[in-house]
Amino acid sequence: MKKTIRTYINTILLFLIPFVVISFILAILSYFMQTNSLVMNVTIQIISYALLILAALYFTSSITQKRLSHCLCFTLIYFLLSLLMHLGNINYLHLFLKSLLFMAIGLFKELKTRK
């Protein structure tokens, strides 16, 4: 149980800390370079999806039993945390796509290990 909770926390930190640091760097760069906000938003979304894929691969590699139920639970936790952090600017499409992507990676890893 302790290892599972540690895996959940490590996965959240693996996703959130680099995302916050990269977003902060991009915010500073956009302030000095006066870039288009659309370019910054697309860059942040691409980085966000890449970090989510890395976090999902780490999570599914660390959890060996009941992988799909853990993926569903983590997806729900991630979805709720994202809703809380983005209350003023919610983009439901990306929240659902990220949740589905995380579940798809979990399902793929589960099917791959069963063979």
- For residue 9, the model assigns a pLDDT of 82
- How far is C-alpha 97 from the geometric centre of its chain's CA atoms? 10
Give the confidence band of 89 by pLDDT, cuts at 50, 70, 90: low
- For residue 5, the model assigns a pLDDT of 82
- For residue 67, the model assigns a pLDDT of 82
Q: Model pTM greater than 0.95?
A: no
Do the beta carbons of residue 57 and residue 71 sit within 8 Å?
no
3-state DSSP: the chain helix, strand, coil percent, rounded to 5?
85, 0, 15
- For residue 88, the model assigns a pLDDT of 65
Concatenated DSSP letters of 1-20: -HHHHHHHHHHHHHHHHHHH
> Domain range spanning residue 55?
2-114
Report how far apart, in Å, the C-alpha atoms of 45 and of each of 48, 79, 108, 111 are. Answer: 5, 16, 23, 28
**Could you give the angle at the alpha carbon of 91 between the alpha carbons of 34 and 96, nearest 5°?**
135
Task: Say how many domains are in the chain.
Answer: 1
**For residue range 17-57, what is the model confidence (pLDDT) as tens digits?**
887 888 888 888 878 887 777 888 888 888 888 888 888 88
Burial of 45 (0-12, 13-18, 19+ CB in 10 A): middle
